[in-house]
């Protein structure tokens, strides 16, 4: 069962400074962006490409400098394409499957550049050695982890991502925003309900149904035939949700145009399934206590990683920005 992000959930209490917000990172968005932004000629001492590691650390430092956090959490894709979503929409992220691997029975092997894979492992080890929360869970994408954080942690928060699907987490009532890195770290955009209404004509709470109608080729979601952004926004504002849309389509006295009515009726099964696929789950388990580390938890491991990847400058800047002590 997929929960609405507006449903009440047990709240994780944090000690927070009133002037600061929590920063929740869509980790994969950052390391992919760093990988493609930094040339492979940037390497570790042993010649291994290290641009994603360096770029990731620098991006987090730059974002945290602009948005000084009370706490940071890194959402992780332990299950980037959950089977339950594939069961509902078989085309979901299908184009990102690595077809060179013979056994695709678990639908879980994602195409990842060879030079990036070891860097992803390094980033996870760096975060773990510092003691920063890195949360993932089978059956939940990083998006779902972020949804759980926003719904369960009762402090103002900013979700850092380049994925517009997460605009559904925006809520002025909860004081949750998205910090979009689509235009780069030097041109961060703060997305709140006013931003969404101005750009798309819908609020954060309406965005998932809006996205389902419009479709998203990057996730393998076709949308409803003939419905673009303007029509999707109009329909969501008038009929609220999938159930309301289907009811209106079945009602011959409704004000729906004949072509729209026909397309909605033909897409009933898609809408029911895609509405669940698009909406983030909020059931991921979140630690009851999330406290920002005051000092590095495993200094020896961090030293080894710093030496292996040649990232002393990047790590020191990263730790300084997050106010974490390290006896180097």
What is the tens place of the pLDDT at every residue in 164-174? 999 999 999 99
Cβ neighbours of 172 (radius 10 Å): 13
284: tokens are 């991921």
Task: Give Cα 302 distance to the centre of its chain.
Answer: 26
Q: Which residues contact 255 (CB under 8 A, 6 or more apart)?
A: none
Q: How far apart are CA 30 and CA 53, in angstroms?
A: 10
The reported pLDDT for the residue numbered 95 is 84
Alpha carbons within 13 A on the beta-carbon side of 45? 9
**Reported confidence tier of residue 10, pLDDT bands at 50, 70, 90:** very low
The reported pLDDT for the residue numbered 11 is 42
Domain 208-278: CATH superfamily is 5' to 3' exonuclease, C-terminal subdomain (1.10.150.20)
The reported pLDDT for the residue numbered 165 is 95
The reported pLDDT for the residue numbered 103 is 55
Task: Give the percent of the chain with pLDDT over 70.
Answer: 91
The reported pLDDT for the residue numbered 8 is 39
The reported pLDDT for the residue numbered 108 is 56
Q: How far apart are CA 236 and CA 2, in angstroms?
A: 19
How high does pLDDT run on average in the chain?
A: 90
Q: How far apart are CA 278 and CA 207, in angstroms?
A: 10
Task: Give Cα 269 distance to the centre of its chain.
Answer: 26
Query: What mean pLDDT comes out for the span 17-26?
Result: 81
> Three-class SS of residue 39?
coil
Query: What mean pLDDT comes out for the span 85-107?
Result: 76
**Reported confidence tier of residue 100, pLDDT bands at 50, 70, 90:** low
Distance from first CA to last CA of the chain, Å, rounded? Answer: 48
Answer yes or no: same fold for 21-203+290-321 and 208-278: no
319: tokens are 């730790």
**Reported confidence tier of residue 289, pLDDT bands at 50, 70, 90:** confident
Domain extent listing, the chain: 21-203+290-321, 208-278
Q: How does DSSP classify residue 162? A: S
What is the tens place of the pLDDT at every residue in 228-263? 999 999 999 999 888 999 999 999 999 999 999 999
The reported pLDDT for the residue numbered 3 is 34
Domain 21-203+290-321: CATH superfamily is 5'-nuclease (3.40.50.1010)
88: nearest Cα among 210, 212, 270, 281: 270
**Reported confidence tier of residue 180, pLDDT bands at 50, 70, 90:** very high
Q: How far apart are CA 288 and CA 62, in angstroms?
A: 28
232: tokens are 């999707």
**Reported confidence tier of residue 296, pLDDT bands at 50, 70, 90:** very high
23: tokens are 């920063």
């Amino acid at each position: 069962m997929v929960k609405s992000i507006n449903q009440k959930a047990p709240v994780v209490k944090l000690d927070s400074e009133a002037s600061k917000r929590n920063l929740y990172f869509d980790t994969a968005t950052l390391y992919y962006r760093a990988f493609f932004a930094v040339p492979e000629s940037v390497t570790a001492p042993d010649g291994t490409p290290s641009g994603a590691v360096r770029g990731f650390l620098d991006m987090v430092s730059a974002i945290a400098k602009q948005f000084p956090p009370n706490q940071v959490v890194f959402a992780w894709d332990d299950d980037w394409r959950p089977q339950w979503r594939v069961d509902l929409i078989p085309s979901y992220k299908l184009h990102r499957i690595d077809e060179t691997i013979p056994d695709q029975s678990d639908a879980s092997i994602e195409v990842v550049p060879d030079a990036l894979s070891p860097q992803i492992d390094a980033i996870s080890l760096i975060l773990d050695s510092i003691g920063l929360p890195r949360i993932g869970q089978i059956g939940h994408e990083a998006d779902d982890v972020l949804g759980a954080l926003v719904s369960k942690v009762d402090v103002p928060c900013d979700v850092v991502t380049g994925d517009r699907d997460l605009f559904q987490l925006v809520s002025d009532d909860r004081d949750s925003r998205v910090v979009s890195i689509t235009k780069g770290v030097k041109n961060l955009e703060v997305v709140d309900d006013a931003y969404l209404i101005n750009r798309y004509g819908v609020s954060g709470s309406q965005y998932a149904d809006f996205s389902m109608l419009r479709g998203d080729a990057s996730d393998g979601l076709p949308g409803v035939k003939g419905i673009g952004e303007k029509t999707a926004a109009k329909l969501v504002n008038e009929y609220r949700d999938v159930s309301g849309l289907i009811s209106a389509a079945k009602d011959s006295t409704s004000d729906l145009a004949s072509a729209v009515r026909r397309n909605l009726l033909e897409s009933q099964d898609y809408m029911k399934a895609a509405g669940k696929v698009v909406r983030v789950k909020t059931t991921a388990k979140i630690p009851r206590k999330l406290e920002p580390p005051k000092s590095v938890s495993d200094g020896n491991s961090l030293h080894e990683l710093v030496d292996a990847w040649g990232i002393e400058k990047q790590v020191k800047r990263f730790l300084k920005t997050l106010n974490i002590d390290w006896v180097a």
